[in-house]
Structure 1
């Protein structure tokens, strides 16, 4: 990171989400000033922690925002050079939340287009925006060119996937129309410290259809600390562009499935047959590809 960027200001919206909170912490540790834009979703533990941090961290300012209130977003973006857009529903996803998230994404991007200081939008999406369709089991490679099918998601009530897909597409369309510099990060299931405590309902929303993801080689997870680093790298690297699939591990064996279940305890109960000994040996073909992310992490990036 160059010296100029180390003194720049970034907005994290919504900083009280699990991913947003870790991005905020990483930015502060790297010398950035941060506007923590928090949606009023009740008194969550993460929100309380951020407000306590504001009292002792001079480079942190907290803003209350409503993503449906365009003006409140504009206030939080003032003087910022970048925005990390991390919209997520703390209550999980249903059909109504899909519409709210799409409208929120549009308002954030539109607000960025009305500011003079924003240099880049780093949009946090999901792998679920890309992996759901009828023929997923026959497709060899699932990468950044892929999108989930809207009708398939609606028919199967995959509201998390639908929200992430529609909001990301809306953000991309508006960013291109306004000629804004945007990068999207599409993480797998997010795991990390106390994820079951701080991010339970979004986690369970992601996992709807987990058995089908697993059998089709598209169930993957990512550590939240690594994910936060990737978001910041996408901002700092001037050549970063387009979409980036982000995951540490594809779950395609029963051993990996067990590790994932253990990391999410007590959200997901341990299957009885695994309590004493592992059984089964079936291995499913991996279909996800994240070669583009590897190039970004290693040093360069590619469109």
Structure 2
């Protein structure tokens, strides 16, 4: 933010208060929407996040200057279902199964699935230009330390993600760059799986756990055997096209 302080206007808005959002986005041409509960995720958070998503999209639909919404969702909105291990490719066409998420109490994944689906339904009904960024576990300087409950909510069921080849991470700076590209590229459309590394070997899993210390702790004197390698199922060809400048 260096050098732009004089151009920066900070507005406070409550995502559950439609009118406060409407006032905050007045005269804006773009909205980068990131809905996360810093208090973590339980079942009650699911409906609140869905309501927030609906309020944000509706406010943008009523803002004449709005050109595009970049809606930040999550890979967890696509990777959870009973038979995920039987799929060779998991891409932007995939959605997490709501009942499976409820059964396994994957509240973060359920919140991201339902809020993104609600956002898409309303955006299409209002003919609003929207793209979604479905990011993996976001890492970077102090990200996990500043957002411990969100990080741990994403990692609920991490062992199953890892074994099924759908555990992926992404650097926060890369996510930010993808958001900007998604807005600036007029041909961008639909969903984009956003990750820059798969975690599918024991060595990578240990490295991830170490980077998340003290949120995650390895057993004392743990020795990596380096023998486990799980098949990668996630595909991000569409993201690669966006980065290369041919979005869709």
- Which among 183, 188, 205 is matched to residue 240 of structure 1? 188
TM-score (norm 1): 0.80
Residue in 2 that maps onto 1:107 = 55
Residue in 2 that maps onto 1:252 = 200
- Which among 224, 228, 240 is matched to residue 282 of structure 1? 228
Long gaps (5+) in structure 2: none
TM-score (norm 2): 0.97
C-alpha displacement of 1:273: 4.3
Long gaps (5+) in structure 1: 1-24, 32-56
Runs of 4+ with >2 A deviation: 270-274
Note the aligned Cα RMSD (angstroms): 1.2
Residue in 1 that maps onto 2:159 = 211
Contact 1:160 1:206 in 2 (8 A): yes
> 2: distance between equivalents of 1:147 and 1:220?
16
> 2: distance between equivalents of 1:190 and 1:262?
15
Residue in 2 that maps onto 1:220 = 168
* 1:221-250 Cα deviation digits (max 9, x unpaired): 000010010011100000000000000111
C-alpha displacement of 1:271: 3.1
C-alpha displacement of 1:195: 1.8
Structure 1 residues 167-178: aligned runs within 5 Å: 167-178=115-126
* 1:126-166 Cα deviation digits (max 9, x unpaired): 00000000000111100000000000000000000000000
The answer as to 2:239 corresponding to 1:293 is yes
> 1: distance between equivalents of 2:97 and 2:220?
35
Residue in 1 that maps onto 2:15 = 67
* 1:103-137 Cα deviation digits (max 9, x unpaired): 00000000011110000000000000000000001
* 1:175-209 Cα deviation digits (max 9, x unpaired): 00000000000000011111232110000000000
SS at match of 1:62: coil
> 2: distance between equivalents of 1:197 and 1:155?
29
C-alpha displacement of 1:272: 2.6
> 1: distance between equivalents of 2:188 and 2:75?
18
May I ask how many residue pairs the two structures share in their alignment? 248
> 2: distance between equivalents of 1:283 and 1:132?
20
SS at match of 1:285: coil
